[in-house]
Amino acid sequence: MSHPSVEKIKLESRHLRGDLVAGLRDASTGSLSFDDQRTIKFHGSYQQDDRDLRDERRRQKLEPAHQFMIRIRAPGGVFTPAQWLGLDAIATTYANHSLRATTRQTFQMHGVIKRDLKATMQAINAAAMDTISACGDVNRNVLGASNPLQSQLHAQVHAWAQRLSAHFKPATRAYYEIWLDEDKVAESGVEHEPIYGDAYLPRKFKIAIAVPPINDVDVFANDLGLIAIVDAAGQLAGFNVAIGGSMGASHGIPSHYPRVANVIGFVSPQQVFAIAEAAITVQRDLGDREDRKHARFKYTIDDHGSDNIVALMEARAGFKLQPARDYHFDHNGDRFGWVEGEDGLWHLTLSLPSGRIADFEDGRLLLTGLREIAKRHTGQFRMTCNQNVMIAGVPAAQRAQVDALVQHYALDRENNAPSAMARSAVACVSLPTCALAMAEAERYLPAFLSIVDPLLGKYGLRDSPILLRISGCPNGCSRPYLAEIALIGRAPGRYNLLLGGDHRGMRMNTLYRDNISEAQIVEALDPLFARYASERQAGEHFGDFLHRAGIVALPAYPTHVQVAPQEGQ
């Protein structure tokens, strides 16, 4: 059966309403119609099925075990303890008893069945959160640095993430009508989407704000990156603007490639909305609406030429970009353990196993432990873009109480993980819920680490912060192309091995071995670890070493960040 194109579905959805109300009421199936499966993404949910059960259900002639993933909109990734407890209660009532911290600073819940979907959405709303445009062809969750050291700047950047998220929220009241029973305010044509228009964007659009020297948001992996520039007094002077980052790729299709964003200039805080709106509307108007694999902003930029796109953005914004300001990134990972903020409050970053917060069968009670902290905590929870959590804003006097709970519930990979690599490793969700997965990722990470750890130990590299990222397919949800070592799923048990990203999120890695097994991965890494251990220079990171030693080639544009002329150049 042929299906209408996503463009047609969007246009005919009456501003994202589709037939969702009727589809949700239909008790004869656990599924939604093809069209509504596309429409519901804009409301922050994906229809999935448990792929572990697929074959068995097919054999039994049953429909797939349909279920829904729900993603929270959380610009800047900040949650109050009350919101945390709300999410915990929702996950244990309606979902699969786990919360999944994502690489975009928010939570997903898996396993919600259609019958419970509306009640789940209402519970999320009652807990003062929503899921609007967490997925779909719109601006997605806006990332903001979680850097705890510069508390004042964090607050400002967080406010910007909130503002941008609110500004680019679709205007339609569809979400409120469908999920919260708000009176119907509009039928077709009555409502107006001032930024998106009736067909929304050709594809998803992502914005992130980084605060140098920490690139914890991987700002260059975003369609629009803002790099906070601080003046001599430590105040926010404005932002360098970077455009055209995105990780998605396909095996064997060279025209579908990952790309880092390039820095195109500087804007003052007063100019941020205008330049962001210019980027989004240029992409709305010029983006490819025929081929969804070629529809991200990066392709619009590469097809039309970066200079032309920048000129168009400037014309729409009504001003010229200033020359980019000087900035420097040290690293793109999280810093674990306690740090004191400028305001004298303390912040504890805990390393979570691929972001999965559950009570595991092996006895680790992460969900329970973090719930106990949330019951007592008076500050915030800040999610990082590396699937970790920060217990933020803890008065010095309350640190011991938090420490005791962390220890009691063994909440921290920091203490439990044998290697620095294990602490910072990121793996996407992949199987069993992700429809696009080709190989395991989250579920494979512990097994892979248990094999690589002895290897690191053999060469005295357990304390070396080598960045490992695994994705179950080339879409790159763990941003694997920016890792020093990446595994990208090809088929069950088989991966591409990519090497040589830097530790600052500014240089992508390159393909080292194609479609290999676990044994072959280990065989490939062993001699490289040996050489790194004996030949590295002081402070040299693994990815940089691989380049200096000529083991991987310096990747060509667009695989490393290019910067427009900076002030004074």
Return residues touching ligand SRM (CB under 6 A): 46, 48, 69, 71, 102-104, 106, 108, 140-141, 206, 218, 221, 246-248, 296, 355, 387, 428-429, 433-436, 475-479
Starting at the earlier edge strand, list the strands of the sheet with 224-230.
143-144, 207-210, 224-230, 236-243, 262-267
CB of 428 to ligand SF4, least distance (A): 3
CA 194-135-76 angle, 5° bins: 85
Q: Could you confirm whether 473 is annotated as catalytic?
A: yes
CB of 412 to ligand SRM, least distance (A): 19
CB of 439 to ligand SF4, least distance (A): 8
472 binds, among ligand SRM, ligand SF4, none (CB under 5 to 8 A by kind): ligand SF4
248 binds, among ligand SRM, ligand SF4, none (CB under 5 to 8 A by kind): ligand SRM
102 binds, among ligand SF4, ligand SRM, none (CB under 5 to 8 A by kind): ligand SRM
224 binds, among ligand SRM, ligand SF4, none (CB under 5 to 8 A by kind): none
CB of 465 to ligand SRM, least distance (A): 20
d(CA 39, CA 420): 41
The answer to whether 436 contacts ligand SF4 (rule: CB under 6 A) is yes
Closest C-alpha to 386, from 509, 216, 541? 216
Of all residues in the shown chain, the one whose CB is closest to ligand SRM is 248
The one catalytic residue among 71, 173, 259, 356: 71
Q: Could you confirm whether 140 is annotated as catalytic?
A: yes
Q: Could you confirm whether 385 is annotated as catalytic?
A: no
Q: How many residues bind ligand SF4 (CB under 6 A)?
A: 13
| Amino acid making up residue 347 | H
The answer to whether 475 contacts ligand SF4 (rule: CB under 6 A) is yes
99 binds, among ligand SRM, ligand SF4, none (CB under 5 to 8 A by kind): none
Closest to ligand SRM by CB, 36 or 177 = 36
- Looking only at residues 505 through 544 of this chain, which bind ligand SF4 when binding is defined by CB under 6 A? none
What is the secondary structure of 180-240 as a DSSP string?
H-PPP---TTTS--TTT-TT--SS-B-EEEEBTTB-TT-GGGSSEEEEEEE-TTS-EEEEE
Closest C-alpha to 51, from 40, 67, 37, 38? 67
The one catalytic residue among 204, 356, 479, 504: 204
CB of 39 to ligand SRM, least distance (A): 14
The answer to whether 441 contacts ligand SF4 (rule: CB under 6 A) is yes
The answer to whether 473 contacts ligand SF4 (rule: CB under 6 A) is yes
The one catalytic residue among 169, 259, 382, 473: 473
d(CA 213, CA 229): 10
The one catalytic residue among 284, 296, 434, 504: 434
Task: By CB under 6 A, name the one of 124, 164, 208, 437 that touches ligand SF4.
Answer: 437
CB of 170 to ligand SRM, least distance (A): 16
Q: Tokens 């429809």 — which residue?
A: 435
Q: Could you confirm whether 38 is annotated as catalytic?
A: no
DSSP character for 269? G
Closest to ligand SRM by CB, 426 or 485 = 426
Q: Tokens 């509306």 — which residue?
A: 118
Cis check: omega of the bond before 432, within 30 degrees of 0: yes
| Amino acid making up residue 108 | Q
- Looking only at residues 394 through 413 of this chain, which bind ligand SF4 when binding is defined by CB under 6 A? none
Report phi then psi at 241, rounded to 5: -110, 130
Query: Which of 471-509 are b and which e, b meaning 16 or more Cβ less than 10 Å from the residue's Cβ?
Result: bbbbbbbbbbbbbbbbbbbbeeebbbbbbbbbbbbbbbb
Q: Could you confirm whether 61 is annotated as catalytic?
A: no
d(CA 227, CA 234): 15
154 binds, among ligand SRM, ligand SF4, none (CB under 5 to 8 A by kind): none
Give the side-chain half-sphere CA count within 13 A for 450: 5
The answer to whether 477 contacts ligand SF4 (rule: CB under 6 A) is yes
- Pull the structure tokens for residue 195: 């930024």
DSSP helix/strand/coil, 515: strand
333 binds, among ligand SRM, ligand SF4, none (CB under 5 to 8 A by kind): none
d(CA 392, CA 394): 6
Cis check: omega of the bond before 213, within 30 degrees of 0: yes
- Strand-pairing partners, residue 497, are 487, 513
Task: Give the contacts of 556 (CB within 8 A, at least 6 positions apart).
Answer: none
Q: Could you confirm whether 71 is annotated as catalytic?
A: yes
Whole-angstrom Cα Rg for the chain: 23
Task: By CB under 6 A, name the one of 13, 98, 108, 430 that touches ligand SF4.
Answer: 430
- Pull the structure tokens for residue 389: 């959590």
Closest to ligand SRM by CB, 104 or 154 = 104
d(CA 510, CA 518): 19
- Pull the structure tokens for residue 475: 């879409």
**What residue spans of 41-80 are helical by DSSP H?**
54-59
CB of 562 to ligand SF4, least distance (A): 26
471 binds, among ligand SF4, ligand SRM, none (CB under 5 to 8 A by kind): ligand SF4
Task: Give the contacts of 285 (CB within 8 A, at least 6 positions apart).
Answer: none
22 binds, among ligand SF4, ligand SRM, none (CB under 5 to 8 A by kind): none
| Amino acid making up residue 335 | R
The one catalytic residue among 169, 325, 413, 477: 477
Task: By CB under 6 A, name the one of 147, 300, 471, 559 that touches ligand SF4.
Answer: 471
d(CA 355, CA 103): 8
Interface stretch with ligand SF4, choices 114-122, 251-259, 416-424, 468-476 (CB under 6 A) = 468-476
Interface with ligand SF4 by CB under 6 A: which residues? 428-430, 434, 436-437, 441, 471-473, 475-477
Active-site amino acid positions = 71, 140, 204, 206, 428, 434, 473, 477
